[in-house]
Structure 1
Amino acid sequence: MSIGNAQRTVAPAVRRQASRARVLIAVMLFVTVVINYLDRANLSVAMPAIAAELELTPQMQGLLLSAFGWTYAAMQIPGGWLIDRVPPRVLYPVCLVLWSLATAFMGVAGGFVALICLRLMVGMLEAPAYPINNRVATTWFPDRERATVIGFYTSGQFIGLALLTPVLTWLQTAFSWHWVFIATGGVGVVWGVVWYVAYREPRESRANDAEVAYIADGGGLVDVEAQTRATNRKKVDLRDFAHVLRSRKLWGIYLGQFCLTSTMWFFLTWFPTYLVDYRGMDYIQSGFLVSLPYVAALVGVLLSGVVSDALLKRGRSVGFARKAPIITGLVLSTVIIGANFTDSTALVILFLSVAFFGNGFASITWSLVSALAPQRLLGTTGGMFNFIGNLSSIATPIVIGFLVSETSFAPGFAYITAVTLVGIAVYVFMVGRVERIADRPDVVAADAA
């Protein structure tokens, strides 16, 4: 029997004997992402009521909506460095509880400045969240499952928004906008405690030896925690940051993420205001219609991971399997421009739903971080990726706030479309072949010695 046939014979046996503790990890990531995105989007739900109560101009609304992004983006790089040194079991619940408390306090804030300050705190404390998700996924899942898992837990952002946005609008209508923040913050505090109690690294968890071997043999970095403890120094090494900024491939995914998330940040900030102020809908009606594009995005996210992993299993290259859904999704996202050419609310929602489906279908970009990042610098690379990508969380709310007028939102959609076209070009021409980037030469030489 050939070696290849032997491997194919042994693998199913190992899989049958292996436990499935990683399924619980996927569910935990999913729930955390639901909470994460509710705490990002709750301000957009409450914004029309806040703007009316505090008499905010579109420019002031744009500033408040962008406050999250200032600290969220700024903390990505130090957050990534921290992730390479503090285990997810400790770092994630600390961040989760603190950002949830800041969210809850927004419900008792009495003015514009207080809301901005608290929103800055939420952004700062949420900064490590997605790099931690990537760190956990890279540790717990083999390459062949990773895109599906990333798609699954990423879908949490849209499931939460699709199903719970109507609940938040009801809370606002039945009580006041203050309860939108109190409720979402309270849930986050509870979940932070649950994460600390339940999460473990693969070798310290309920996963049996067969499952750990299955993950490791498939490319999962089950020992990354021990390796980073042994190799990463506690002081900041600027050469690590320089290293992850030298690669054209990494710059491709950094810039591509900015373009991709620009569409998402429109939906997380201006979309409810667009429906209420520019389409004349009431809060309950807008809450229902807001959920439709989120449902479309959810379908896109779930399909993207399955399609990508299916392409990989059928023998397509990692680059094709990962980039094809991303580029296809970005192409579909340009359909958002159609909202500028119709007065029909039904057609507007259709165009926006197709665009957000495309945004969801393209959302497996973290799989490229897992595939490209130097193994020792997963957190640092993820932090840089999220830093540059989420500069859109600053740019999108502010740029749209200055482009739109009291009566026309058309320049806002034109801006989103133009940025998306740039994203398509970046993934086509800059990323190239997908393969893990080598560590710094001095580190490689030291390891070899």
Structure 2
Amino acid sequence: MNPTRIRYGMLSLVFVNVVINYLDRTNLAVAASALSTDLQLSPAQLGWVFSAFGWAYAFLQIPGGLIADRFGPRVLYAFCLITWSLVTVCQGFVRGFSALFGLRLATGAFEAPSYPINNRVVTSWFPDNERASAIALYVSGQFIGLAFLTPVLTMIQTYAGWQGLFVATGTVGLVWGVIWYLLYRDPLDHRGVNEAELAYIESGGGSFRKKEPQPGQPSAGPGQAWQWSDLQQVFSSRTLWGVYIGQFAVNGSLWFFLTWFPTYLVKYRGLDFIRSGYLASVPFMAACAGLLLSGFISDRLVRQGTSVGVARKTPIISGLLLSMSIIGANYTNDTTLIIFFLALAFFGSGMALISWVFVSILSPKNLVGLTGGVFNFMGNLASIIVPIVIGYLAKDGDFKPALVFIGALGLLGASSYIFLVGKIERV
């Protein structure tokens, strides 16, 4: 009997989740120029508003990972989608800095479990030799969606205002939350999956069965009781610290593009708002290409017998070094070259985003969600720090120091993978 391919259908659902997830993160970036004028926000205040999502999102990653380990993706993801989408709709009715800051905090809080859930779904549905590709495909949703939908978002704002932009993007998430609940199932609960596919996934390292406890031992796997020693375990590994720091660097570049990038084009480079929407899509397409290329090359190297360490780390280190090319935009006033340097840098950042594969490879088998939560927490500290730092670096109207700062993060991340991440083996 040939294995079914239900896992790809489940991956497509996660892909759409990621598209919506990032629409509701970046709608503020599209709205920022008009919104900051209407609400009379200074560059520093705008930096704080951009960072508000990250405060809640980052600091709730560890609880989010614990929740992902304890509750099933079907119900938990539906709850998250619906709640963060309701908050997004409410952002269309704000009248000041405080209300907007609070609602962005709430958006981050309700989105916090999303990536630990994504990783749990992929760990459950895919064997090891397909996992980097699967991660690359679902993570590409954040770039494909933004590449093709950023011009749409700018048009919505042009005709419906920034208020209509928030209402429209939030409504999409409300509808999709219901669809996710109706369609998603775990491997053992899906009626369409056959035993051959389950055996293929499990023999290749996929993990979807709860382990039976030994006499006198606590149960393992999803749903187990959390202990402080679990947290100590995922914070005490030098290798994990290496990927944590690397993820902070990757996210530093990402959060520039998710927050300040449209404002950089409009206010600091003088581009027309609608034209900027089309140009802004180019780096996102480049990041998507880098991500997909990295994922497929990495998996191919594994299948050809290359060591896991070399196959997984090489694209990430190369991508982080390439992301430093963003500094090149400081040395030209030509719009085409500016977009070229930004796209090249984001291509490199995209290559490095297969780093989620290390959560599946390195984390203790019963702590995939918790490890993913810590990994995402460390990485998303960048969503707090980077927008605020850029706001202060650019407060006098000069954006060059901000781009140097982003480039330096790429060097930090590459150094972390080179010098801290050693032999790749499960903690």
- TM-score in terms of structure 1 length: 0.92
Q: Distance in 2 between matches of 1:33 and 1:235?
A: 29
Matched, 1:23 2:3: no
Matched, 1:356 2:346: yes
Matched, 1:335 2:325: yes
Do the aligned residues in 2 keep the contact of 1:54 with 1:111 (CA within 8 Å)?
yes
Q: Distance in 1 between matches of 2:385 and 2:106?
A: 18
Please state how far the C-alpha of 1:406 moved relative to its aligned partner: 3.5
| AA in 1 matched with 2:207 | L
- What residue is the counterpart of 1:222 in the other structure? 208
Do the aligned residues in 2 keep the contact of 1:372 with 1:436 (CA within 8 Å)?
yes
Superposition map of 1:108-119 within 5 A: 108-119=93-104
Q: Secondary structure at the match of 2:353?
A: coil
- What residue is the counterpart of 1:39 in the other structure? 24
- What residue is the counterpart of 1:421 in the other structure? 411
1:207 to 187, 193, 197: 193
Q: Distance in 1 between matches of 2:212 and 2:251?
A: 33
Q: Distance in 1 between matches of 2:30 and 2:221?
A: 45
Per-residue CA deviation, residues 305-346 of structure 1 (Å, 9 max, x unaligned), is: 111101111110111111111011111100001011111111
Please state how far the C-alpha of 1:234 moved relative to its aligned partner: 6.2
* Most deviating of 353-362 and 216-225: 216-225
Do the aligned residues in 2 keep the contact of 1:139 with 1:224 (CA within 8 Å)?
no
- What residue is the counterpart of 2:298 in the other structure? 308
Per-residue CA deviation, residues 354-387 of structure 1 (Å, 9 max, x unaligned), is: 0001111111011011000000000110000000
Q: Secondary structure at the match of 2:76?
A: helix
Please state how far the C-alpha of 1:405 moved relative to its aligned partner: 3.4
* Most deviating of 405-414 and 289-298: 405-414
2:74 to 85, 89, 96: 89
Per-residue CA deviation, residues 222-244 of structure 1 (Å, 9 max, x unaligned), is: 21588897566765411111111
The verdict on how the C-alpha distance between 1:233 and 1:27 changes in structure 2, with shifts beyond 3 A counting, is: closer
Q: Secondary structure at the match of 2:354?
A: coil
Do the aligned residues in 2 keep the contact of 1:18 with 1:211 (CA within 8 Å)?
yes
Q: Distance in 2 between matches of 1:93 and 1:193?
A: 7
| AA in 1 matched with 2:304 | R
The two structures, once aligned, show a CA RMSD in angstroms of 1.4
Do the aligned residues in 2 keep the contact of 1:212 with 1:222 (CA within 8 Å)?
no
- What residue is the counterpart of 2:105 in the other structure? 120
Rg larger for = 1
- What residue is the counterpart of 2:256 in the other structure? 266
Matched, 1:59 2:44: yes
The verdict on how the C-alpha distance between 1:238 and 1:181 changes in structure 2, with shifts beyond 3 A counting, is: same
Q: Distance in 2 between matches of 1:29 and 1:232?
A: 19
Q: Secondary structure at the match of 1:26?
A: helix
| AA in 2 matched with 1:75 | L
Q: Distance in 2 between matches of 1:363 and 1:312?
A: 17
Do the aligned residues in 1 keep the contact of 2:44 with 2:395 (CA within 8 Å)?
no
Q: Distance in 2 between matches of 1:64 and 1:339?
A: 25
The verdict on how the C-alpha distance between 1:338 and 1:117 changes in structure 2, with shifts beyond 3 A counting, is: same
Do the aligned residues in 2 keep the contact of 1:85 with 1:229 (CA within 8 Å)?
no
| AA in 1 matched with 2:282 | L
Please state how far the C-alpha of 1:44 moved relative to its aligned partner: 0.3
Superposition map of 1:377-388 within 5 A: 377-388=367-378
- What residue is the counterpart of 2:355 in the other structure? 365
Q: Distance in 1 between matches of 2:210 and 2:28?
A: 37
Please state how far the C-alpha of 1:112 moved relative to its aligned partner: 1.6
- What residue is the counterpart of 2:402 in the other structure? 412
Matched, 1:391 2:376: no
Per-residue CA deviation, residues 156-202 of structure 1 (Å, 9 max, x unaligned), is: 00011000010110011112011111111111111111111111111
The verdict on how the C-alpha distance between 1:291 and 1:226 changes in structure 2, with shifts beyond 3 A counting, is: farther
Q: Where in structure 1 are there 5+ consecutive unaligned residues?
A: 1-15, 438-449
| AA in 2 matched with 1:83 | A
Do the aligned residues in 1 keep the contact of 2:266 with 2:273 (CA within 8 Å)?
yes
Q: Distance in 1 between matches of 2:242 and 2:211?
A: 28
Superposition map of 1:133-172 within 5 A: 133-172=118-157
- What residue is the counterpart of 2:164 in the other structure? 179
Q: Secondary structure at the match of 1:178?
A: helix
- What residue is the counterpart of 1:190 in the other structure? 175
Q: Distance in 2 between matches of 1:406 and 1:230?
A: 55
Q: Distance in 2 between matches of 1:405 and 1:119?
A: 22
Per-residue CA deviation, residues 37-78 of structure 1 (Å, 9 max, x unaligned), is: 111111000000011111211100000000000000010011
Per-residue CA deviation, residues 252-271 of structure 1 (Å, 9 max, x unaligned), is: 11111001110000000000
Q: Distance in 2 between matches of 1:100 and 1:81?
A: 22
The verdict on how the C-alpha distance between 1:351 and 1:231 changes in structure 2, with shifts beyond 3 A counting, is: closer
Please state how far the C-alpha of 1:204 moved relative to its aligned partner: 1.1
Q: Secondary structure at the match of 2:397?
A: coil
- TM-score in terms of structure 2 length: 0.96
Q: Distance in 2 between matches of 1:128 and 1:180?
A: 25
Do the aligned residues in 1 keep the contact of 2:210 with 2:220 (CA within 8 Å)?
no
Do the aligned residues in 2 keep the contact of 1:70 with 1:120 (CA within 8 Å)?
yes
| AA in 1 matched with 2:300 | A
- Aligned residue pair count: 422
* Most deviating of 217-226 and 45-54: 217-226
Q: Distance in 2 between matches of 1:62 and 1:178?
A: 20
- What residue is the counterpart of 1:4 in the other structure? none
